[in-house]
Amino acid sequence: MKAPSESVLSHLRPVASERIHETSNPGSPKFCIVGSGAIGGTIAGLLLRSGASVSVVARGDTLAAVKQSGLRLLVENQALQAPVRVSEDPAELGPQDYVIIAVKAPSLPRLARRIGPLLGPDTAVVTAMNGVPWWFFLNAGGKLAGHRLRAVDPMGFIADAIPIRRVIGCVLFVAASVDEPGVIRHENGRLLIIGEPDDRLTPRVKCLAEWLRRAGFDSRISQSIRSDIWFKLLGNISMNPISLLTSAPADRIMADPLVRRLCITVMEEAAQIAARLDLPMQYSIDQMIEKLQRLGSFRMSMLQDMERGKPVEIDALLTVTHDIGLLVGVPTPFIDSVLGLSRLRAEGLGLFERAA
């Protein structure tokens, strides 16, 4: 197996390169990043650069690459290389203070049942993922209080493995990609919004925010994390499936007036569901469009997954929104159309399997 970063990093030799030595920082909480793809790798790499105590759960080619050459992060015209404790078996890493889950939603039901060894009495589990999480209504108010989202947790395995008391919600506005296993490229964006599901300002969420800021993230604590999750959904539910259907990067999707209008209509339907759920949107659809335009030629995560032959996040983005729309009586004809087309496309590629 070739050195996993040589082909990617060779053209960066004229720019700054930094090797980060693995250290044990007694002042740092213990962070474990579950998943070392684009998002997990970016979080792990920047936390390591800040001096935090970090371990990683990975598997397959990524596990082998990180064991051999460390985690490599291309960021700010630098090539960072960091040795990191990595294992496929969470039991080898032991209890943590923060477990940051940065895997794609289709992987979570299987993985949730394996992370028990990472969970001590007070371990917080941070859901750094796209889409509507399984816990969205579990301790919420309103008529859907306690409702289980079967689209994302059909058998209840995730809720059983990760009790709501452990959860810290997380919304990311970070564009990153995997150049090859163990080699992550940060494109743009550093905003991480975190918050307790019950919107309290707790010591654990304040500590997490501080360490993320030390790592270089624009870390903000939300007192309405469900609203922030839903706002991020507006962009994902429109741009991601369209990238799957067309293989177009973000700038081409935004540049076509008809496709851009479709994106806006899908967002409008999702915003109507948010209004029915009494979720205040801090920002407008126009502001979401501005955020998406700043992505430039970035390949959305569904497109990246399709190109790498990985399952795509249809249920966590589209199916769950369709289901919630039915529950609250909001028609979603455009979301439904995009959902149907995306399922057929992904099924044809072998990247999606409908729940029984």
Question: Which residues participate in catalysis according to the annotation?
Answer: 232
As a whole number of Å, the CA-based R_g of the chain is 19
Q: Which of 219, 218, 188 is nearest to 76 (CA)?
A: 188
The CA distance from 228 to 233, in Å, is: 9
Work out whether strand 96-101 and strand 71-75 pair parallel, antiparallel, or are unpaired: unpaired
Q: Residue with structure tokens 């693995």?
A: 22
DSSP 116-176: GGGEEEEEEEEEE-SS--TTTTTT--STTTT---TTT-TTSHHHHHS-GGGEEEEEEEEEE
- Residue 104, classed as helix, strand or coil, is coil
The CA distance from 233 to 211, in Å, is: 26
